[in-house]
A and B are shown apart, each in its own frame.
Chain A
Amino acid sequence: MRRALLLCAVAALVAPTAALGHVILESSQPVTQSRLEAPPNEIRLRFNQAVTVSPGAIQVLAPDGTLLSGTATTSEEGRVVTAPVSRVVRGAGYTVRWRVIGGDGHAPAGVFTFGVGVPAPPPTEAVGAVAATWRDDVTRWALFVALALLIGPLVVRLVVVRGPVPARVERGFHLLGVVSAFLVIDVGIVAFVVRASNALQLPLGDLLYGDLQPFAEKTRFGIAFLAMTLGFGIVAAVLLLAWILERPELRWPALVLSLALASGLSLSGHQATEDNAGWLSQAADWLHLVAASVWAGGLVALAFLVWPLAPSLRRNAFLGFARLAVLLVGAMVLAGSYLALTRLPEASDLWQTQYGRLLLLKLGIVALALTWGAAHHFVVRPRFEAGGEPDVRHSLAGEAAVALTVLLAAAILTNAAPPPVEPPAANAGSAR
């Protein structure tokens, strides 16, 4: 045992070259997403370790896709890669695509942009990038669902079903909360990578070593992703501690943090990046998202936790959620109407643009969900109040399914491009 330990230690310590050192693009000239006043003569990439390159390791592309760069060479013991550029002119944004091979055999690749005399386009609009695909829609939907399954049951437990509950219901709430927090993180990572891959345009094997830094640091959705990943990691830990230490009050900070982190989606979507976006549209979007999440996730908690596991709680849970649902629907409708008017100022936009038609589809599903909810509110609620015990589990599950479908429509809408609008005079541009 001692000999094996010794051999292991010695082998690890004396083996040459960098250990767990991965190839990282430390800096670039021009700087990622920078605005230059004069055209550059070369592109210079500095890595944290020696790399080897092919002649086309750096490609500088004009907006029309024309290749403007020459043969790439290395210097400074292989840490710096340089390629000359020509025909770069003022008044345009340019795309740099690079790919090198590190000492560890990995072949990282990346893309970034710079502008000459104009602001650089975001990396998602680099030459060769494609718009959102069905993968973006699916991952965004999964993210919405995970968020709803986290926030909705937390609100139900803290606001609707307060006080002691049977142990297995409590376990169910704990389990759903923790699993949902993990899901938000994991789905968020996949959604981020999928979105970056639209611009990176790498095969799957190469995408594993794709440089995500320009997207993480220079885009709103990237910054939101970083904050949400760290924040929901903390939420997961807090929820686990709430269960293990039997401190249910810890759910409150988890809920508050989750609601705050949900704003990351609003601060990085259309309501934050379009020309007429402002703080009001971002706040409305956050309210819309949170209300929809509590509504959909709350229905899931009622149908699949409270109803089957705690018959004694059904009446109070249903009546409490019915009261809450009035507020939620009101918030959703008000915020949603404002957002629709902001994005589609003309009524004809509803049927003349793809965004408008998608919104109509979403409104159709919302109308079905609201009708279902109204039936619960005006037909089932009075029966509970009169002392009856109607079994509406399947009906609640049905409404929950429709609510989750609304989230799918919302995800598709989020990834669709709204029609252009006139910016208000005082509104400054912002990073996307």
Chain B
Amino acid sequence: MQLLAGGLTIFASIGGLHLGDMLVVLVSFLLLLALLKKFAWGPLMNQMEKRENYIASEIETAEKNRLEAEKAVNEANERLKSTRQDAQQLIEDAKKAAQQQEQSIIQAAEAAAARIKKSAEEEIAREKEKAIEALQAQVATLSVQIATKVIEKEISAEDQEQLISEYIKEVGEER
């Protein structure tokens, strides 16, 4: 009996089975669960999920941008390389053209010089001939005059002339 009483005392001190309390706990807990889910955990979890998605998309974008940048750099490098090659080619072409031009200029100059020299030589020869002809004519008349003066008294004018022209012919043939 005493044992039973003791047991009952403990039972009472720890609360006993009160259905009213159970109802209060059940209702308040379920209500709390529903309210928190709607007002606290829902928004909080949404926010966290949103951030997760945001970070993921940011990482994706960054990765995409990086790839794009890499591609652009590669392209630029390639273009630079080809431009360099073009420039090199251009310089070489220019050098070659310049050399050719030099050569042709020199050739043209040489040819012109040769032509000028030749024409000068011809001119000289022509002048010489002319001078000789003029000299011949003058020498003839001068010798006639001299001969006339020297041998006026001895032979007639016709003989003299014949004689002189014979001599002159001889002179011409000898030359």
A binds B: no
